[in-house]
A = this chain, B = another copy of it.
């Protein structure tokens, strides 16, 4: 078959409806640019009639030299009792100045009578008027049949009549929406198939994940004949989210052999997923299919063994096809194979018989029980290896530190740290301030270490994460701090655990410094 699938992204519109997601205008522009570059054909930028931020986006995006994507403005059919050319929403849609417009209308009688509260016939006229008017203005017109499947199951004749109104008024695409996300794949397939047999207009699909079936429902619609697939990056969207393009596109390309994206562009998918999470300030879902950090992570000792023999044994695709990579995890449940493979990543030779391997395993187990987790802290694992091999060297000794946070009335608080360390026989004292206590301590530590180790000047903290480990104990709970550091060549991650956030941060800072000093003279060696 090999039909061409058109990808329609609504991250900037429907995605912004997700709990915890809010894009700034610069975010939206940068995301649009990335969607264009990977080859998404339609970018729905927002709802100009509902939101001034969205209108600003449409103004700005005109100056962006997009390579191939068409920008789409989204809005509803005209209101009842208002002529289409005077309807505020329709005016805003035209004001957006996009080449394409998506108009949604009601297909479900329940919505017509209970939400819009108009006569069934009036709703059909609203659809027909709005589509017809915008077509006459020269727009490419995508008609979103909201709640189409629920509407069809409730009153098939009316749902089809609403589609017909849009098709006859000139819509270029009829998009069938499972707006409430509650349909089963076999329903989607059956109903879409029937519509595709009745209508000559190209069809699209728009699903939500309320039943955990948005991906399957989208693929079922593609099998039944749709050519346009709507979704969002990382599945952002109202409630449980929209169809996730980062899951659907690899399935289309790699499993169904439909050229939705070219293979070289598909390799940029993991990058795009991370980028959009960063813009939205959402912690990436490690378990996301294809692009998640755990998607090709192997923990069970037997699996690690098998993957070493043949990756296909426990990987459904080559992770590089979507820009992801294989990871071997070490934890207190690890077998010796994991530890050995992980040590090899660092250029350290261990085998199953050496006592160091058993020592590392025992130490991993003990620390695991205290709440340490080395799965995201490779550099701390490297230091642990060093200690287990009896090769660890203290680059400095802590004499003591003191961190003070002081607040007066409504003023912002002041954070200061003093620290005293000893290198060889020489003691040095230093002080630092910062935006918060950890920042102050970090600054003081760097200042004092610089006197002994000038290369510390190249190190920057790139990321700082805090996680509480025991919710039930309130502020006395343990926290795990993960610190990411970088210098000119490398990025590395370290971990600390304590009931005291300062102590946990301190441990991670010390591991970070140790790792930096350990890798001296090994420049170019990738962690």
Residues on A close to B: CB < 8 A?
16-20, 22, 50-51, 110-111, 114-115, 179-182, 184-186, 209-213, 215-216, 219-220, 223, 235, 238-241, 244, 247-248, 250-251, 255-256, 278, 281, 285-290, 292-303, 305-306, 309-310, 312-317, 329, 331-333, 368, 373, 375, 397-410, 412-413, 415, 434-439, 442, 460-472, 474-477, 479, 483, 498-503, 505-506
CB pair A502–B437 under 8 Å, yes or no, is yes
- Report the separation of the CA atoms of residues A294 and B236 in the bound assembly, to the nearest whole angstrom: 12
CB pair A289–B180 under 8 Å, yes or no, is no
CB pair B19–A294 under 8 Å, yes or no, is yes
Most B C-beta atoms less than 10 A away, residue of A114, A211, A292, A506: A211
- Report the separation of the CA atoms of residues A332 and B16 in the bound assembly, to the nearest whole angstrom: 12
CB pair B247–A211 under 8 Å, yes or no, is yes
- Report the separation of the CA atoms of residues A210 and B295 in the bound assembly, to the nearest whole angstrom: 7
CB pair B464–A185 under 8 Å, yes or no, is no
CB pair A289–B211 under 8 Å, yes or no, is yes
CB pair A239–B313 under 8 Å, yes or no, is no
Residues of B within 8 Å of A476, CB to CB, are 434-436, 439
Known: A406-B402, A466-B466. A17 touches B299 (CB 8 A): yes
- Report the separation of the CA atoms of residues A294 and B464 in the bound assembly, to the nearest whole angstrom: 27
Main secondary structure of the interface of A (DSSP, over half): mixed
Known: A240-B292, A466-B468, A500-B412. A314 touches B180 (CB 8 A): yes
Number of copies: 2
CB pair A299–B437 under 8 Å, yes or no, is no
**Chain B min CB distance to A326 (Å):** 10
**Chain B min CB distance to A370 (Å):** 12
CB pair B474–A460 under 8 Å, yes or no, is yes
A-B contact pairs, 9 of them (CB 8 A): A20-B373, A22-B368, A184-B251, A184-B256, A209-B289, A211-B251, A235-B287, A238-B314, A239-B295
User: Which residue in chain B gives the minimum CB-CB distance to A397?
Assistant: B409
**Chain B min CB distance to A365 (Å):** 10
Residues of B within 8 Å of A294, CB to CB, are 18-19, 239-240
- Report the separation of the CA atoms of residues A301 and B434 in the bound assembly, to the nearest whole angstrom: 41
- Report the separation of the CA atoms of residues A101 and B108 in the bound assembly, to the nearest whole angstrom: 50
- Report the separation of the CA atoms of residues A499 and B412 in the bound assembly, to the nearest whole angstrom: 10
Known: A115-B310, A251-B212. A240 touches B461 (CB 8 A): no
User: Known pairs A211-B255, A461-B474. 5 more at Cβ < 8 A?
Assistant: A180-B315, A398-B409, A402-B407, A434-B475, A460-B474
CB pair B405–A287 under 8 Å, yes or no, is no
User: Which residue in chain B gives the minimum CB-CB distance to A407?
Assistant: B401
